Chain A
């Protein structure tokens, strides 16, 4: 057997493993035939863009198989037969429903949860478990990482986010439970290290064995400390402590699952140096990492946030200096609408790059895209109106050839987006009668 160090030397780096990986020495690339022998896994990912889109440059004019991808969607033309444009879907829980302003916060918090976020600037934050996390809890055990949460924006640095909603709502897409958002990693290097091994240090077999034992004893120690604390705390405190306990359990689960595929990056995959200055490069690097993660089967579930909801980023790379959020309140000004379409197009080009990479990655007798379901969308429709019906939603990939792609489908008014999620969950092997505000499975998607 080749030592892990030798393997990684092939990549030009000699790597010492992060805390956890040290406890779970990797199997070696190429010596694990089980992956190929297993049925091809299905993957699910969710891409989020903020502030809605210019729908005039988005929605195809005709429905069915004979439709044209125009405007912001033009870059997806090569993948037209692999995708569905889904019009008319609604996130009702992003609407005020008596809670007043705050559409940005709600749009993001409700997008994958289908739950009305509780209006609070801090005390007792609450949304619901998100669709990716539900899948991660149910079937995430199959991979080393139940799910991966990445994005290009960290949290907001100061101030108030949206109309009395804590910033937790507009910076987190994934919710592990109704009260615990799952933060995203924004530094590509950190994502790479987490997935495939850490900083430079060398270890002999004996040393690494010992380290694994020490690390296990540390986990035992802190679990015990947390248990001791329990009796001394109140309800809100216990929520924090429960998060701690859950995290410990999650980490231990990963350690016990030692027969899972190795966290070894394929040859040629370079370790990123940090966050690129160019936003385009940042988005692409995150997408590259997601392709790698799917390819190596270290996870099958992911969320990727191009920008936080309400983001006021300016897109100088494409000549748009105004802030995105400022622009999204376009007042039907033609120039502003045009700039929004440019931003939408820019995001879409990076998404198309990702989809292209998935399709170029062979798997079985097809490619990764055949076995994936990649949802792309926003929880706001038109940024000016802050509407949450007729959202811009794409579903790309064939879901293991279970999806009849190559169509533009329009659903009836107020059809919950969660109805789509039920179908995605089913394809991931998660059978639930309802999710969020679902009213039943979307019909007409299956191949």
Chain B
């Protein structure tokens, strides 16, 4: 899918490439085979298939038999892994041709046929989810996860089942955290009452009732009698040691908090034959709540799941809207937007204090908060996703207002302000993004351009070739732009910098902490540029307008990022149909963000699950 975006970007100022509009298959003999022959088949041929890979095929149909091959080839072309160093490289046109062919002909998916919803790996709660779940389960705001080692990031997010591994160190921390959580809950009369309730009657009955209620919420699904009985053993154990029933229940709570049923989001195969099946209602409730709240379902979701009515009528839509209005939806901002926009990296940015003495910890936090508030507003007001690219409002406190040169804002309270759209509009001109894409001492048009390609167009450029700098041994001279133009004179670098640099140069009017400027040292700012394809612009405002015209790419990019986050897995070629459906729904709905969230919730991969048996029926 990224290939499409990169393709579109290359064609930037043109209409959609013919290859995308025409559904007709490409001519293998005339168009494709010569390119394969020149760049691939030299090594990967029938006689001597290097790395076990043979790319010699008699026609498109023969080539299309094994999709796995083409997923790999596409990946290697995209990341620049192949052809290897020292071999001839295809031109951009040839690369696009191959990519389009692979995407359309080799990895074609029949969206009208049976669709593969994929299979999410058993997901451990990540740090944010752990804390939020403790908060909603016990009423305890404790940030216990501060003691946990960091979760690894995959596909840009830290909620990906495949990389949420579990080490002995982490389990040790879980054991400690569970003990603390239970102890603090039972030390607080109000919190304790939430668990113990006011039930009277026979002791054994009340024990079971208490534990059943708790376990249902802790495991986020109905529990069996055996499961309740297992927990009740802790009460027996406590009583045998001369302790109270209450102490026993505290122990059971502590134990449940380290059970895999609590720590993991368990989903089971519902089709007895191991094929595709809708996820259960409770599982769907969990998918919803962890997507929008990074936490467990609340009572309303549980009740609908219990009645089996979550999918009934317009319940899903109503729930999504209700959930987005809840303050818990701030989690979507912090965890999704915080990672999508790389905002979390701003916590580690280190602008040089000699050059930027005004960059204080307070300003850093205000920058982050601005972008959070902005994302929040788009969600809460169900605005167009194109507001991210360009808008006439933002949110500032006094610190940030001073930074932007906006007058009349006093105090630490954030408020909505109207912007001078000549200078700012949308997230690209927010100080947060401008700072986190800068070097400590200066702006980095490369990083800014790369950021746009990666996060707004989902077309990450391949990494620099090793030795990139070394070819250019003489010292670079002149303005930053001149230096970079010299750098681009190197053909090995030109291909990618041709895409990245102009995008970044558009933002040269903002310094390395996002302040407006007209000079860089003694040089006047030149924010003009030309995109591949020849379209010219001057400054961020004009680039924003161009980006806004290219809404299909941005829509697709955001849909891919949000679906990855919602599912907790990387996207596969077969997710193409879901992405197309989502983008179509959003386009029909005026680009409203809620329509995207809702379309994701309704999509096959969100609603279904492939069993162990895979695609076969």
Contact = CB atoms under 8 A, between A and B. Distances in A.
B237 A243 contact: no
Given A100-B79, A243-B167, A331-B469, A154 B150 contact: yes
A183 interface: yes
B81 A149 contact: no
A322 B355 CA distance: 12
B81 A101 contact: yes
A123 B255 CA distance: 31
Given A101-B79, A159-B156, A166-B153, A182 B167 contact: yes
Contacts of B155: 121-122, 166
Interface in A199-253: 210, 213-215, 217-218, 221-222, 224-226, 229, 232-237, 239-241, 243-244, 246-248, 250-251
A96 B465 CA distance: 12
Interface stretch (B206-214, B257-265, B311-319): B257-265
Contacts of A161: 153
Contact of B255 (A168, A186, A218): A218
B365 to A, nearest CB: 15
Given A124-B162, A155-B153, A316-B353, A251 B175 contact: yes
Contacts of A316: 350, 352-353
Given A157-B347, A163-B462, A233 B122 contact: yes
B152 A244 contact: no
B342 interface: yes
B454 interface: yes
A271 interface: no
B163 A168 contact: yes
A190 interface: yes
Contacts of B470: 331-332, 384-385
Nearest to A238: B122
B613 to A, nearest CB: 10
A171 B152 CA distance: 8
B176 A19 contact: yes
Interface in B31-56: 51
B460 A160 contact: yes
Contacts of B157: 158
Interface string A315-334: 01000011100100111110
A158 B343 contact: yes
Contacts of A171: 150, 152
Contact of A218 (B169, B175, B266, B338): B175
Given A183-B150, A240-B264, A322-B439, A158 B82 contact: no
Contact of B149 (A100, A185, A221, A332): A185
A162 interface: yes
A168 B151 CA distance: 9
B110 interface: no
A127 to B, nearest CB: 12
B382 to A, nearest CB: 25
A326 B178 CA distance: 42
A179 interface: yes
Given A123-B570, A330-B469, A331-B470, A240 B122 contact: yes
Nearest to A159: B342
Contact of B338 (A158, A198, A321, A326): A158
B462 A247 contact: no
B121 A237 contact: yes
Nearest to A248: B171
A159 B150 CA distance: 15
B612 interface: yes
Secondary structure at the B interface, as helix, strand, loop or mixed, is loop
B172 A194 contact: yes
Given A155-B150, A155-B152, A234-B612, A210 B241 contact: yes
A234 B464 CA distance: 39
Given A163-B463, A384-B470, A251 B171 contact: yes
A160 B172 contact: no
B122 A19 contact: no
A112 interface: no
A163 B454 CA distance: 12
A20 B177 CA distance: 12
B142 interface: no
A236 B84 contact: no
B72 to A, nearest CB: 10
A224 B233 CA distance: 13
Contacts of A154: 149-150
Contact of B463 (A162, A214, A218, A321): A162
Contacts of A225: 230, 259-261
A125 B162 contact: yes
A113 B340 CA distance: 32
A244 B260 CA distance: 8
B472 interface: yes
| Size bin of chain A's contact surface | 35 or more
A240 B124 contact: yes
B345 A159 contact: yes
A160 B454 contact: yes
A166 B76 CA distance: 16
B467 interface: yes
B255 A167 contact: no
A56 interface: no
Interface in A168-190: 168, 171-172, 176, 179-187, 190
B165 A180 contact: yes
Given A18-B176, A229-B261, A155 B151 contact: yes
B348 interface: yes
Contacts of A210: 241, 243
B569 A158 contact: no
A211 B227 CA distance: 23
Contacts of B119: 234, 236
Nearest to A121: B155
A98 interface: yes
A384 B467 contact: yes
B156 A160 contact: yes
Interface string B312-347: 000000000000000000000000001110111101
B275 interface: no
A122 B167 contact: no
A326 B350 CA distance: 13
A102 B460 CA distance: 14
Nearest to B166: A243
Interface string A118-137: 00011111000000000000
Interface string A293-324: 00000000000000000000110100001110
B578 interface: no
Given A176-B167, A314-B440, A331-B469, A241 B122 contact: yes
Given A99-B81, A159-B153, A218 B160 contact: no
A251 B168 contact: yes
Interface string A56-86: 0000000000000000000000000000000
A276 interface: no
Nearest to A100: B81
B266 to A, nearest CB: 7
Contacts of B472: 331
Given A156-B153, A167-B154, A168-B163, A122 B466 contact: no
Contacts of B234: 214, 217, 221
Nearest to A23: B175
A164 B78 CA distance: 10
A158 B339 contact: yes
A103 interface: yes
Contacts of A176: 167-168
Given A19-B176, A122-B160, A213-B241, A184 B80 contact: no
B170 interface: yes
B115 interface: no
A176 B165 CA distance: 11
18 contacts: A98-B81, A157-B348, A159-B339, A162-B463, A166-B153, A171-B150, A180-B165, A183-B152, A183-B169, A217-B251, A217-B255, A229-B261, A240-B164, A250-B168, A321-B350, A322-B441, A384-B470, A386-B466
The 6 closest A-B pairs by CB, nearest first: A100-B81, A331-B469, A122-B154, A155-B150, A183-B149, A157-B344
